[in-house]
């Protein structure tokens, strides 16, 4: 069955970096784009951008340009999200979601940024 399994929760200090992974299984990884969605505590969903899993080309929403990097380990069917110079407002759950429909979602990774 199709699954997106994300890495575990993270507790970081402001200014640090974090890398989140999203491992896909049950389908051909390069057949579907991978999107990233942010959900701040108690808030709604915010699209961050996506990565073309065939070419590796990332596309970022304006609010996520600069400190955010999407990358792939295609041989491991894994998409990654790296956030550098973490700020308190980066505290959120980060989801990966498959394809344009967002038809499958990872379980989410809670990133807490606190001094």
Partner 1 sequence: DIVLTQAPLSVSVTPGESASISCRSSKSLLSSKGITSLYWYLQRPGKSPQLLIYQMSNLASGVPDRFSSSGSETDFTLKISKVETEDVGVYYCGHRLEYPYTFGAGTKLELK
Using CB under 8 A as the criterion, which residues of the chain lie in contact with partner 1 when the complex forms? 35, 37, 44-47, 59, 61-63, 95, 97, 100-108
Instruction: With CA atoms as reference, report the closest residue to 51 among 27, 78, 25.
Output: 78
Q: How far is the CB of 105 from partner 1 (least distance, A)?
A: 4
Rounded-to-integer distance, Cα 22 and Cα 11, Å: 18
Residue 13 vs 62, nearer CB to partner 1: 62
Residue 13 vs 101, nearer CB to partner 1: 101
Q: How far is the CB of 30 from partner 1 (least distance, A)?
A: 20
Rounded-to-integer distance, Cα 66 and Cα 114, Å: 21
Residue 16 vs 31, nearer CB to partner 1: 31
Q: How far is the CB of 14 from partner 1 (least distance, A)?
A: 26
Instruction: With CA atoms as reference, report the closest residue to 79 among 101, 59, 50.
Output: 50
Q: How far is the CB of 58 from partner 1 (least distance, A)?
A: 13
Residue 1 vs 75, nearer CB to partner 1: 1
Residue 54 makes CB contacts below 8 A (sequence gap 6+) with 30
Q: What six digits make up the tokens of 102?
A: 């967002």
């Amino acid at each position: 069955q199709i699954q997106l399994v994300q890495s575990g929760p993270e507790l970081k200090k402001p200014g640090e970096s974090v890398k989140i992974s999203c491992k896909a299984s049950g389908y051909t990884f390069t057949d579907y784009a991978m999107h990233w969605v942010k959900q701040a505590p108690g808030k709604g969903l915010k699209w961050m951008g996506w990565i073309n899993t065939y070419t590796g080309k990332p596309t970022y929403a304006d609010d996520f340009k600069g400190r955010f990097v999407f990358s792939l380990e295609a041989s491991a069917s894994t998409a990654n999200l790296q956030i550098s110079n973490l700020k308190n407002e980066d505290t959120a759950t980060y989801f990966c979601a498959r394809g344009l429909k967002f038809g499958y979602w990872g379980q989410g990774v809670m990133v807490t940024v606190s001094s």
